[in-house]
């Protein structure tokens, strides 16, 4: 597991969310069905790390062979 400062994660998520919104606005027919759910999940993650959280743990998930 890798631990990162919550501000780093927050900044990355906000930037990624903005990119998704731009894609939805630029290509609505392509992204209007998939990206709103993804944007909502980013909003949920941002809300979960608001407040007094200083670090966020990243746990990679891999496929078992």
Within a domain: residue 21?
yes
Render pLDDT for 1-17 as a digit per residue (tens, 0 to 9): 889 898 898 999 999 99
51's CB contacts (< 8 A; 6+ apart) are none
Within a domain: residue 24?
yes
What total number of domains does the chain contain?
1
Within a domain: residue 58?
no
Within a domain: residue 61?
no
57: which DSSP letter? E
Render pLDDT for 20-60 as a digit per residue (tens, 0 to 9): 999 999 999 988 888 888 999 999 989 988 877 888 888 88
Using DSSP's 3-state secondary structure scheme, residue 34 falls into coil
Range of the domain at 27: 2-51
Alpha helices in 1-65 (DSSP H): 6-26, 28-31, 35-48
- The kind and range of the H/E element at 39 are helix 35-48
**Residues in the chain, overall count:** 65
pLDDT at residue number 64: 62
pLDDT at residue number 60: 82
Within a domain: residue 36?
yes
pLDDT at residue number 65: 59
Structure tokens that stand for 64 in this block:
């078992």
């Amino acid at each position: 597991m890798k631990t990162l400062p919550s501000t780093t994660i927050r900044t990355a998520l906000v930037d990624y969310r903005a990119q998704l919104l731009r894609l939805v606005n630029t290509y609505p027919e392509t992204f209007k069905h998939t990206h709103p759910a993804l944007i909502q999940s980013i909003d949920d993650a941002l809300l979960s790390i608001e407040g007094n959280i200083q670090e966020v743990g990243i746990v990679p998930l891999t496929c078992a062979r």
